[in-house]
């Protein structure tokens, strides 16, 4: 634990700036002296003084051998990994690295369909063939969860030649599958398990939370330190362990995907966030769990609003949950999550993490306290008095709609590089999409390139757009048109 008090990268930076070297290298603002004075004033001298690049004393993220290497080694120790790679390209960069490490053109990767767009981007870059597993759909909450051991078993026995299995654990909403069992099963086929751990950096540091990817024995995990672990936005880690993955290959691939101008502000924030998590993480998360559980109880007392907890565990796709995520179901108020998000912004000055048709999601972190929790509860109470109509049987009037998963007819890469044309979205049923369409956040695709468009999906897109939810992805931001694979008509 004493070793975890050290922050070699951050200390190395401080050491360097204490010598006040005359800088004749980029960044050209040189401590802010060469930049817009307003912004310099706002950002402040400390941040500007460590906005440096990979000069010799500061090591190089592309070939770590000094302070970055030492910091990554301490992070590996903290996360229970054999190697940790720092990412300044967010978890998206770490995810692309995982996939491109294990998959080449034409090789199979088993993935749940409700994946983040970075996973589909990596599948296009690598030319891999996705084998989709249907995530479990929760008809009560109207969200998708993780994958079950049974569905993994089916996918592995049909595709024992897959080069990897990717699991989202925990999901955006904090739900975990039985990851240990999934890992054991997948390893019995000698297939590596890659985990999208964007929403689970903190779970490693408290045994009241679901098991982390490294604890479950997964081979690789892309983990957003910036989302819930206290580092700055865009900074993440890629952890690996075991013999199935070569650390050298990971290093060369993450390097291919990373800027050569790596931000030392981000890197230092990773080094210090790791110290904070390793030394204080357990205590901090205990406090957060307490705060979140008290918020959950109070929310469940508000008419028309509910917040599920451990009672929804089912030993299956909902094997465990992270109580610090508050899934707040508002469907009984007969308004959409998006309307609630806007109402809370305009009337209560509250910003939520995300909204969908039926829920809002609020995250509780070590940045919260009883005041922020009470403020949220107060806002939700006012929301309920505005919208809740006593006596009305709301739950019966709500029909949860989740999108159908379309059939993949071309590999995403082939579709992406095919000849295409533009057609009206409302006339596109039956055509093959050449674009991604997703709702962001959370960035889960409704269509990926290569999938056959069905009327159901078109209706779902319109429903989300009518509710004001952010449907994104296509070239035409109004979504009047969609790019599809060109059909070749016979020449008469
Ligand atoms: C499930 C999931 N995976 C990956 C990512 C990508 O993380 P980042 O924004 O750090 O690139 C996100 C971001 O929201 C996500 O929700």
Give the model confidence (pLDDT) of 172-185 as tens digits: 999 999 999 999 99
Q: Mean pLDDT throughout 423-435?
A: 95
Structure token pair of residue 30 = 């040189």
Cα-based distances in Å from 37 to 31, 34, 42, 43, 48: 12, 8, 9, 10, 12
Q: Across all residues in the chain, what is the average pLDDT? A: 93
pLDDT digits (tens, 9 = 90+) for 24-63: 999 999 999 999 999 999 999 999 999 999 999 999 999 9
Nearest to 7 by CA among 282, 283, 274: 274
The CB of 241 under 6 Å from ligand 1? The reply is no
* Res. 85: pLDDT tops 90: yes
Distance 416 CA to ligand 1 centre (A): 22
Distance 265 CA to ligand 1 centre (A): 20
d(CA 177, CA 399): 26
Classified as helix, coil or strand, 65 is coil
In this predicted structure, what is the pLDDT of residue 395?
53
* Res. 270: pLDDT tops 50: yes
* Res. 397: pLDDT tops 50: no
Could you give the angle at the alpha carbon of 205 between the alpha carbons of 204 and 206, nearest 5°? 100
- Can you tell me which atom of ligand 1 is nearest the CA of 236? 10
* Res. 139: pLDDT tops 70: yes
Chain centroid offset of residue 204 CA:
16
* Res. 394: pLDDT tops 60: no
The CB of 236 under 6 Å from ligand 1? The reply is yes
To test the pocket of ligand 1, the residue of 91, 95, 231 to mutate (highest count of ligand atoms within 8 Å of its CB) is 91
- Can you tell me which atom of ligand 1 is nearest the CA of 94? 11
pLDDT digits (tens, 9 = 90+) for 474-488: 889 889 999 999 987
Distance 258 CA to ligand 1 centre (A): 17
Q: Mean pLDDT throughout 210-223?
A: 98
The CB of 359 under 6 Å from ligand 1? The reply is no
The CB of 235 under 6 Å from ligand 1? The reply is no
Distance 160 CA to ligand 1 centre (A): 28
Q: Out of 125-134, 270-279, 459-468, which region has the weakest mean confidence (pLDDT)? A: 459-468
Distance 92 CA to ligand 1 centre (A): 6
Q: Mean pLDDT throughout 423-444?
A: 85
Cβ contact 114:314 at 8 Å: no
* Res. 232: pLDDT tops 90: yes
């Amino acid at each position: 634990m004493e070793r975890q008090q050290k922050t070699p990268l951050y200390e190395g930076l401080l050491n360097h700036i204490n010598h006040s070297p005359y800088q004749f290298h980029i960044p050209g603002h040189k401590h802010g002296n060469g930049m817009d004075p307003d912004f310099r004033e706002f950002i402040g001298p400390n941040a500007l003084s460590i906005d440096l690049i990979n000069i010799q004393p500061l090591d190089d993220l592309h070939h770590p051998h000094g302070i970055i290497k030492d910091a990554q080694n301490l992070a590996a120790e903290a996360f229970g990994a054999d190697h940790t790679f720092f990412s300044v390209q967010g978890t998206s960069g770490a995810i692309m690295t995982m996939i491109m490490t294990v998959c080449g053109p034409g090789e199979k990767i088993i993935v749940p369909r409700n994946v983040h767009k970075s996973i589909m981007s990596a599948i296009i870059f690598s030319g891999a063939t996705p084998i989709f597993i249907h995530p479990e759909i929760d008809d009560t909450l109207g969200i998708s969860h993780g994958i079950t051991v049974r569905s993994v078993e089916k996918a592995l026995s049909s595709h024992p030649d897959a080069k990897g299995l990717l699991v989202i654990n925990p999901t955006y909403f904090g739900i975990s599958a039985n990851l240990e069992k999934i890992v054991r099963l997948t390893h019995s086929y000698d297939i590596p398990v890659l985990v999208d751990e964007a929403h689970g950096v903190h779970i490693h540091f408290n045994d009241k939370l679901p098991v982390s990817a490294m604890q479950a024995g997964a081979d690789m995990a892309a983990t957003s330190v910036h989302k819930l672990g206290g580092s700055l936005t865009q900074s993440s880690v890629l952890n690996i362990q075991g013999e199935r993955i070569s650390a050298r290959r990971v290093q060369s691939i993450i390097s291919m995907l990373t800027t050569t101008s790596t931000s030392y502000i981000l890197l230092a924030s990773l080094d210090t966030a790791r110290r904070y998590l390793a030394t204080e993480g357990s205590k901090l998360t205990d406090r957060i769990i307490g705060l979140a559980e008290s918020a959950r109880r109070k929310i469940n007392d508000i008419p028309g609003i509910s917040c599920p907890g451990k009672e929804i565990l089912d030993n299956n796709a909902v094997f465990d949950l992270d109580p610090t995520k508050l899934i707040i179901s508002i469907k009984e108020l007969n308004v959409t999550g998006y309307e609630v998000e806007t109402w809370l912004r305009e009337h209560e000055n509250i910003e939520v993490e995300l909204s969908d048709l039926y829920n809002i999601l609020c995250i509780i972190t070590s940045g919260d306290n009883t005041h922020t929790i009470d403020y949220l509860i107060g806002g939700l109470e006012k929301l309920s008095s505005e919208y809740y109509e006593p006596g009305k049987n709301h739950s019966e009037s709500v029909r949860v709609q989740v999108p159908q998963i379309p059939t993949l007819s071309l590999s995403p890469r082939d579709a992406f590089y095919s000849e295409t044309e533009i057609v009206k979205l409302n006339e596109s049923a039956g055509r093959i999409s050449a674009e991604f369409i997703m709702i962001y956040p959370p960035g889960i695709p409704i269509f990926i390139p290569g999938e056959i468009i069905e009327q159901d999906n078109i209706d779902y897109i319109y429903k989300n757009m009518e509710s004001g939810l952010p449907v994104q992805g296509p070239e035409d931001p109004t979504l009047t048109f969609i790019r599809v694979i060109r059909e070749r008509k016979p020449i008469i």
